[in-house]
Amino acid sequence: MKQLIILLTILFFTITNAQTHRFIYELQYKYDSTSLDYLKVNMILDISTKDVKFYGRDLLIADSLNKKFGNMDNRYIDMTGQIVKRKLNSAENENFINIKFGYYTFKTNDKINWVISNETKKVKNYTLQKATAKFGGRNWIAWFNKEIPLNEGPFKFQGLPGLVFEIRDHKNNFIYNLVKSQKIKGNPATDDFMESNFGNKAIAVSEKQIRKLMIEFYNDPFAFERINFSKDNKNLQINIGGREVHSLEELNAETKNMQGIIKKYYNPLELDKAVHYPK
């Protein structure tokens, strides 16, 4: 485990009303399952007396800058698809996701049936025990610590008798490692970047509606830009990804290019819920 600078020298590891336990995980993941390259981000797991939140550290940084300077100029779009919130020791998750200009929330039941092994290993001064499970159409190997009485872990990986330190899928598309821990006074507010995305409040929908919205985005990723083109706007030009688009024909070419990108870099953690894009 890389540079495990964990402040877990706590004699009594109990959660009080006045504090939140924050765990930072390094997540390495592949946008493209065929690639050898990983993207690397830090993710935060906040555990309070009532709830558990998991989100990208960059969201917190952008929110902190906004509060420091009294504006909303700093924004961040999470690309991991792993923003979740749940009650403590619950498998009922509230998920948050950006789709084009919209921000949505939907609920899922994500109970994981773990198989706990007798196999253990030492990492620094911690004894970790192995557990395996099938979740989201992938097989997972987790290493947890029974001495830390929190049945939680990154993303939706909860329900083990101890905190998850490491977890990865068997094809190494997603790799989580605990790198840091700290206590936070109170229950940190996430209203501006989790329950809403920097002014864009999450709209509650169903999981089925999320898939429909993703298909609609794929079918016409530049739908908003498209309405600006008409027979009366012959001299119109718009900018897409730094390129000037002057006609509907050029926009259609950009659409086809974007559809290829969406497919290539679509590697959802939960394969069993994957959207099947049209060919």
For the stretch 88-120, pLDDT in tens is 999 999 999 999 889 999 999 999 999 999 999
Q: Is the pLDDT of residue 2 over 60?
A: no
What pTM does this model have?
Answer: 0.91
* Dist CA 238 CA 229 (whole Å): 9
**DSSP code string of 156-196:** T---SSSEEEEEEETTSSEEEEEEEEEEEES----TTTTSE
- Is residue 259 pLDDT above 60, yes or no? yes
Q: Quick one: CA dihedral 237, 243, 249, 254, positive or negative?
A: negative
Which of 217-226, 235-244, 259-268 has the least mean pLDDT?
A: 235-244
* Predicted pLDDT at 247: 86
Q: For position 71, what pLDDT does the model report? A: 86
CA distance 267 to 270: 9
Q: What is the mean pLDDT of the segment spanning 36-55?
A: 96
- pLDDT tier at 234, thresholds 50, 70, 90: low
- Tell me: pLDDT of 165 over 90: yes
What does the pLDDT average to over 26-48? 96
Distance CA 86, CA 41 (A): 22
